[in-house]
Amino acid sequence: MATTMTTETSGMPEPIRNGEGAPILGPRNVPLERENPDLLISPWTDNGTIPNLKFSFATARNRVLSGGWAREVTARELPIATELAAVNMRLKPGGIREMHWHKEGEWSYMLAGRARITAIDAGGRNFIDDVGEGDLWYFPAGLPHSIQGLEEGCEFLLVFDDGHFSENETFLITDFFKHTPREVLAHNFGVPQAAFAEIPVDVAHDRYVFAGKVPPSIERDAVESPAGTVPQKFSHRLLAQEPVKAPGGQVRIADSVTTFPASKTVACARVEVEPGAMRELHWHPNVDEWQYYISGRGRMTVFAASEHARTFDYQAGDVGYVPFAMGHYVENTGDETLCFLEMFRSDHFADVSLNQWMALTPPELVKAHLNLSDETMAALSKQKQIIVR
- In the β-sheet with 318-322, what is the strand arrangement from edge to edge? 54-56, 318-322, 289-295, 338-344, 267-273, 249-254, 244-246
Structural contact between residues 115 and 131, judged by C-beta atoms closer than 8 angstroms:
yes
Closest CA to 86 of 296, 271, 343: 343
Angstrom CA distances, 312 to 322, 334, 352, stand at 11, 14, 21
Helix (H) or strand (E) holding 16: strand 16-17
Instruction: Please give the Cα distance from 32 to 123 (Å, whole number).
Output: 51
Neighbouring-strand partners of residue 116:
130, 148
Task: Give me the half-sphere count of Cα atoms (radius 13 Å) on the Cβ side of residue 112.
Answer: 11
Structural contact between residues 267 and 163, judged by C-beta atoms closer than 8 angstroms:
no
Question: Which are the contacts of 252, defined by CB distance < 8 A and separation ≥ 6?
Answer: 238, 239, 241, 243, 244, 269, 270
Structural contact between residues 279 and 246, judged by C-beta atoms closer than 8 angstroms:
no
Structural contact between residues 85 and 75, judged by C-beta atoms closer than 8 angstroms:
yes
Catalytic annotation present for 169: no
Contacts of 186-195 with CB under 8 Å at 24 or more apart are none
Q: Catalytic pick from 77, 342, 364, 375?
A: 342
Side chain identity, residue 61? R
* Residues with a known catalytic role: 342
